[in-house]
Amino acid sequence: MRIGLGALGLLAGLGTPLAAQTLWLPASDPVGIARGGAGVAFGQSLEAAALNPALLVTLRDDASAFVAAGMELQSSQATLQSNSSVQYSSDRNRFLPAFGAAWKLKPNLYLGLKFDNPFMRHSLMPSTYTGRFEAQGMDLATRRMEAQLSYAVTPGLSFGVSLGMTHVKYSFTNSVRVPVPSVPGAQVSTTNPAQGILEVNAEESGSKYLPSYALGFRWAMNPRWTVAGAYQGAITGTLPLTARVDASHRQLVGISGFGTPNAIAVPAAQTLQGALTANPGEGGITLPGRFTLGVRQRMTQTFTWEADIRYILGNGMKLPGYATVTGPSGSVSGQGFQSDLHSGFGISLAGEVAFTKNVTGRLGLSSDPGLRKDPSLEPVLGGSRTAAFSAGLGWRVLKGEVNLGWQIRQSQDREVKNLDGTWGLSGLNTTGTLTRVEGMGHLWSVGYKKAF
């Protein structure tokens, strides 16, 4: 017990300064959350089988299942360094359900079913946010349901596969500006000059069921040491997008991009607004795959630890293109979103200690690679290097097991110079003023597991 408590204390000390926020979730169930996403080698755990289907054959029960529910919370902020103006995001909370089940078909063959949320990102910046022309709001949600099959070649070597569908829901908002001429139904020209500039929001959204899969293996070298790995395939497809013009927060400014427009622009803008149409961008989406390799050691009868290293294929990520707003003077859209994506390595470390026969404690920490380089960072999608600290408890009660998991996340602060700008008649021009981008969030979940 001393070894277990000491190791958990060390994990807590290491994890405190590493909190973070990322596009993908470490897990959707309380056990996986408490372990910080580590678990591809954690045998005899139904929740870990959601990360690696090869672990199903390590279960001791003929049938088992768990249900869980919680919340995912995230918030971003942007601070303009020139005047210390701080803008905070809204739309912060999402429901987080999870489910898992397993059945023994033969001593060396198991069937499983899982439901989780592999990716989630949501943020809405205020209408005064200076980077709103690149991105003002996004809502990305995924619900994945997969059937799993696990086969043991030998008692120590097993393989697994997971196949299913993921419901991907996506919406995006950014601001655009169009010139308001004297005659709003005609194109801007020398004889029909611009009298002001109208700002509206371009919104697009869509959803679709896309195929998803995972592969895994497990090698128990001896009763204490296990090596395992899993590959989660990329979720890719084309969303059927629709678009619209939202003028609920419209602004009317002078042709320089600031100040008051000419008086004639006020009634002309109302007419022009009714003539604007929106078309969605290209709907292709790819949510990155990742390969994870883990090592697990059972140090004592009461303490087990696992370390995972993962490679996230961030350079293959793709989100739909900008919606286009068209008026008498032409078409406009945003620019710059999701550029400079890249891949990288992340790590997770988890410890689990049995305090008593019925009570188990868990701690975890993790760090994920940055998704975007500094020049392209912004608070809606985020993308700086991330990390997290997790904790949880399991309690055998009510003829089953009740689990609680919690995680705190904090993105690495970055200062970027392409978010502050003005949109005048010549288009969008950045000022080069530094903007500090920050983010944080939490995950929590409560679940109940029972063997049959």
Q: What is the pLDDT of residues 389-448, one digit of tens each?
A: 999 999 999 999 999 999 999 888 999 888 888 899 988 888 889 999 999 999 999 999
CATH second-level architecture of 2-451?
Beta Barrel (2.40)
Exposure string of 214-232, with b = 16+ CB inside 10 Å and e = fewer, is bbbbbebeeeeebebbbbb
Tokens of 13: 């000390």
The β-bridge partners of 204 are 172, 243
Tens digits of pLDDT across the chain (452 residues)? 443 444 434 333 333 333 335 789 999 999 999 999 999 999 999 999 999 999 999 999 999 999 999 999 999 999 998 888 899 999 999 999 999 999 999 999 999 999 999 999 999 999 999 899 999 999 999 999 999 999 999 999 999 999 999 999 999 999 999 999 999 999 999 999 999 999 999 999 999 999 999 999 999 999 999 999 999 999 999 999 999 999 999 999 999 999 999 999 999 999 999 999 999 999 999 999 999 999 999 999 999 999 999 999 999 999 999 999 999 999 999 877 767 788 999 999 999 999 999 999 999 999 999 888 766 788 999 888 888 999 999 999 999 999 999 999 988 899 988 888 889 998 888 888 999 999 999 999 999 999 99
- CA proximity to 207, closest of 315, 320, 92, 69: 320
Question: What pTM, to 2 d.p., does this model score?
Answer: 0.92
Domain ranges for the chain, please list them.
Answer: 2-451
Place of tokens 């809405």: 124
